[in-house]
Amino acid sequence: MSSSTKTPVKRTKKSSKKTSRKAVTKKTTRKATTKKTTKKTVKKVNIVELPTVSLKKNLKQDQQEITLCVLRVRGAHGMRRTIQRTLHLMNLYSVNSATFVRSTPSVRGMLQKSKDYVSFGPVSEDILKNILKKRARLTGNKILTDSHVRRTTVYKSIDALAKAIYQGKIQLKEVKDLKPVFRLHPPIGGYPGSIKKPVGAGGTLGNVGGKINKYLKKMI
């Protein structure tokens, strides 16, 4: 036998090193700054001119001065001096005395201050005429007559004078020798509510509106 010596071949195992190369992909994220040019669309607005005449009329109606009758209901017990002075400025020195004033801003301020002692509201022309004829007094406690009105004013009668006072053309103090206050007797049957509560709480104090004419009818 041929002795063939087989030399063992050492197979060197190739270590296949997988070099996983990381492909560093630099992502350059360039922010595209897209400037949005927002064009302002100017809308043409048609300017409508408001009628100035009608606005003036509305202002005149809101600020219109009317003739008010102020009636003193309560006495001076527990009254503050400021309120007492306000009543004296309106010639209301005693209970059941009344006067006629125009609703000017100063008068409205006085009425607001003395609202817990008086009743007031727009007087009617007929009631104003009756009070002048029956309760108006001159100095010396004389009765007002048509002749005195003709001598001292441009009006010819008490009715014409009452209409002028109602329309605000003349005030009581402008009539010579006429006392600007009217002394009335207590209302027949009494007041419809308490004289210590406002009209909103069932009383007779404050702005009573047209009810003032009902009070005066009982007192003339």
Q: Please measure the distance between the N-terminal and C-terminal CA atoms of the chain and give it in whole angstroms.
A: 170
Judge contact between 123 and 135, C-beta under 8 A: no
Residues of the chain with pLDDT under 50: 1-5, 12-39, 41-42, 45, 47-62
Residue 57 falls within a domain, yes or no? no
Judge contact between 71 and 120, C-beta under 8 A: yes
Residue 71 falls within a domain, yes or no? yes
Residue 132 falls within a domain, yes or no? yes
Question: How many helices (H) and strands (E) would you count in the chain?
Answer: 7, 8
Return the CATH number at 102. Answer: 3.30.1390.20
- 125-135 helix and 158-167 helix, angle to the nearest 10 degrees: 130
Residue 202 falls within a domain, yes or no? yes
Gap between the Cα atoms of 123 and 200, Å rounded: 20
Residue 83 falls within a domain, yes or no? yes
Residue 176 falls within a domain, yes or no? yes
How much is the pLDDT for 34? 43
Number of structural domains in the chain: 1
How much is the pLDDT for 65? 83
Which amino acid does the sequence have at 38? T
Q: Which domain holds residue 145?
A: 65-217
Residue 50 falls within a domain, yes or no? no
How much is the pLDDT for 8? 53
Residue 55 falls within a domain, yes or no? no
Judge contact between 204 and 191, C-beta under 8 A: yes
How much is the pLDDT for 53? 38
